[in-house]
Structure 1
């Protein structure tokens, strides 16, 4: 059995390829020309991801595709038509790959989507589930939703097995963007006005997500299913900061600023979305993964944060 990993140079792709190497699983890493990957990989260079990408070389002899490559969520997107740009990569590019995978005799297509297909926020104690109607709120989420719909249709038409995974925020060694910025602030001992945030958010450690992807590669019950995945332990932002501080061996300097004050200040500064992510709820229910696949997150939140801090 040979596995094709697209986006093999990304945060998830690197970790997945390392795990496949450890398991002595035959795989091929698909990357853009000139992009470095870890030594020892069978590499297939492909062009930009769109409806015209030629996957022939990459798909030769492949049984399973794990599709990670995507145009990811872009803060302050300056594109004249962001949805069109996202569709070119995340919809057209994904469905083109899936159709060529069918022609190449691939048995299973594992698509890493996003919890943004479900939406941006949940009510306290009412987590997202796989049965919820899609409710994407931005161009990225919409493009992932459309890709999922197209993949399901291809599965119905051709018989290829499709597995869809919707992770929330992924953290681990090499994480970037807002999570990395918050982690640096904690490590430097900066006082943070996040000591009175009593929300609940689901995250997924990189090791847990990789383990779940590998489970979905071959598990018979995963075929043609959609799964939400997380660490199985939700955190408030206050608890997250304390966990980061404990992992880094420093004291958490948290100021108990009321959430309404944070929201009012953020609105004045045009940072409302950022504060919503820090203060709002986003919970996911992983009961389906537990019950159908028997999957249990192998890494605790504490261990995941420790690995993230150590890099």
Structure 2
């Protein structure tokens, strides 16, 4: 099977391409950076990973999200429709649906994104879903939650640095539950989708089976790094006020980053597992996080 991947140089693209090749697939990258790019028709699948990631500092031009995440997706899909390629896999985001989750996020929740990033992803989804698919073609919209794995930087690495240096975690008073997605489970699900001819077009959430709190995560990091966890339960109102000050003073802790670190965001993966006939993903949430954290240590 031949697969074309946009955004192949990114974290997900590098890992997914290596995984697919290791399982006997031919993989080719497609860069969308130049205006004269063109989709080759000699392939079985196009996986569209390229996009503008969410900027937690809120310094990016809002229009740039729509130019990249929506407009490039539209152009790519239009070329797919007239090609011989059978499957189009678009990596959207759970943030195309909700910035906060009260109980559980599944595919039936009515989308209401609040950020330019989420809105641009949703507008791309809406365009794709309105198009008529020619016979024999399939469209998959993937909504992953927070993806992590060895080599991936971000909030997990930030937490590791805090715990590894023996700095107390000051946000222990925030009670939450979060879903994560290890790169291993993402790769597994994509390969299963590519090799399953019975799965129907549609929207599918990607998440690990288990949910964990940030305090649980601190405990895991401490165990892996060989340190004793130090969790301080400082008044949450005081911390929130400090974060709001960070919005104006450009401090490391601002409202957006505090939200990412402490919010509850539980994502259901029931639909994709039922579609593929899977009872359990190969890597537990805890196993995946331990693998990622060990990579920071090394």
Deviation at 1:281?
1.2
Q: Whole-Å Cα distance in 2 between the matches of residues 21 and 249 of structure 1?
A: 36
Q: Do the aligned partners of residues 119 and 185 (structure 1) sit closer, same or farther apart at CA in structure 2, a change above 3 Å counting?
A: same
Alignment correspondent of 1:158? 134
Q: Within 5 Å, give how 1:45-56 maps onto structure 2.
A: 46-48=32-34, 52-56=35-39
Q: Is the 8 A contact 2:41 2:85 kept in 1?
A: no
SS in 2 for 1:29: strand
Q: Is the 8 A contact 2:172 2:215 kept in 1?
A: yes
Using the size of structure 2 for normalisation, the TM-score is: 0.90
Q: Whole-Å Cα distance in 1 between the matches of residues 59 and 116 of structure 2?
A: 12
Alignment correspondent of 1:133? 110
Matched length = 287
SS in 2 for 1:135: coil
Alignment correspondent of 2:49? 68
Alignment correspondent of 1:43? none
* Aligned with 2:74 (options 81, 92, 95): 95
* Aligned with 1:290 (options 267, 273, 291): 273
* Aligned with 1:280 (options 260, 263, 287): 263
Using the size of structure 1 for normalisation, the TM-score is: 0.86
Instruction: Give CA-to-partner distance per residue, 1:27-46, whole Å, 9 cap, x none.
Output: 11224xxxxxxxxxxxxxx5
Q: Whole-Å Cα distance in 2 between the matches of residues 96 and 223 of structure 1?
A: 23
Pairing 1:10–2:10 present: yes
Gaps of 5+ in 1: 32-45
Alignment correspondent of 1:111? 90
Superposed CA RMSD in Å reads 1.8
Gaps of 5+ in 2: 248-253
Deviation at 1:5?
1.3
Instruction: Give CA-to-partner distance per residue, 1:210-249, whole Å, 9 cap, x none.
Output: 2112222232343311111111211111111111222333
SS in 1 for 2:166: coil
